[in-house]
Amino acid sequence: MEESDVARLPYLKAVVKETFRLHPTVPLLLPRKARADVVIESFIVPKGAQVLVNAWAIGRDPNVWEEPDIFHPERFMESEMDVKGRDFGLIPFGGGRRICPGLPLAMRMLHLMLGRLIQSFDWKLEDGVTPETLDMGDSYGLV
């Protein structure tokens, strides 16, 4: 697999987006400080308050995603949504002026490496494990 092949692999790109939706690289984006008092619906964010965006919760919000706890890459097959910070529903790299500067390199390498892993190995579940019984629960920690 070559980098030029990625453009012809829409399902691979959908799998990457769905993985970022359910498992963002960091659950809380970098903190921001409110420069002025801001009213969001009935909530007041006072000037100087530290604000954290919870990318993990956004990716599991039932108001944004249908069946938010289900890994379903097909939801991105007909979608123009990307991870470049333009769509608030999918912001694993942040957005705006403070978007992660490593985003272009990360996306190029991630698609290429995942594609090569899939291509290079014969992937199978352990004996007795089915897709329905596979434990897909979260584990927390730093790698």
Helices (runs of H) and strands (runs of E) counted in the chain: 3, 4
Q: Which token pair is 39? A: 């009213």
The response to whether 100 counts as a known ligand-binding position is yes
With DSSP H G I counted as helix, E B as strand and the rest as coil, what are the percentages for the chain, rounded to 5? 35, 10, 55
Paired with 43 in beta bridges are 40
> Can you tell me the distance from the alpha carbon of 143 to that of 87, in angstroms, rounded to the nearest whole number?
28
125 φ/ψ sector (left φ>0, alpha ψ -120 to 50, else beta):
beta
CA dist 138 and 22 (Å) reads 10
Instruction: Indicate the annotated binding residues for heme.
Output: 100
| Known binding residues | 100
